[in-house]
Amino acid sequence: WIFDEVLPTIRRTGGYVANEDMFINTYLPFADDQTKLMFRGVLETVRKQNEQIAAMKPKVEYFDALVDRNLLTNFRDTAKELQVKERFFIDWLLKNKFVYRDQKNKLKPYAAYVPELFELKEWERNGRADVQTLITPKGRETFRLLLKKEQTA
């Protein structure tokens, strides 16, 4: 409580008073009753908004991570969107020289298609780091059109 609430408040504002009435009487001793009443309303609004912010923090972090990925999708999700099997889609990308397999057998895009069709995102988890190949919205649309053209030919 002291480290989570009191000290951060002191650092931010220069002081800490837990009781609203004591705060108002200490910092606004000469204010009239209407001003004190209005200030109590403001303090209550701020308290409610801080509770909402705290409750929304996990959602905000999740959606920030999504936005950071910039609507990119992996190979599996892209194949689902294109209504083809993942294995077929990857084989098709390899056959048409959009991607290749590196020494670790991971799919990597050819440089000519980065960042238009693919984007590489670094990730770290449990002390391991690597790069994931993701497909951009433009890449999804390009592959959709090429697959459609190939299937109608």
Task: Say if strands 128-135 and 118-125 run parallel, antiparallel, or are unpaired.
Answer: antiparallel
- pLDDT at residue 73, rounded to an integer: 92
What are the mean pLDDT values of the chain's consecutive 10-residue runs (153 residues total)? Answer: 81 78 84 91 90 87 68 93 95 97 94 93 86 92 93 78
Q: Give the per-residue pLDDT at 71.
A: 84
**E strand or H helix at 122, and its extent?**
strand 118-125
pLDDT of residue 52: 92
**pLDDT at residue number 32:** 92
> What six digits make up the tokens of 39?
């200030």
- What pLDDT score was predicted for residue 146? 95
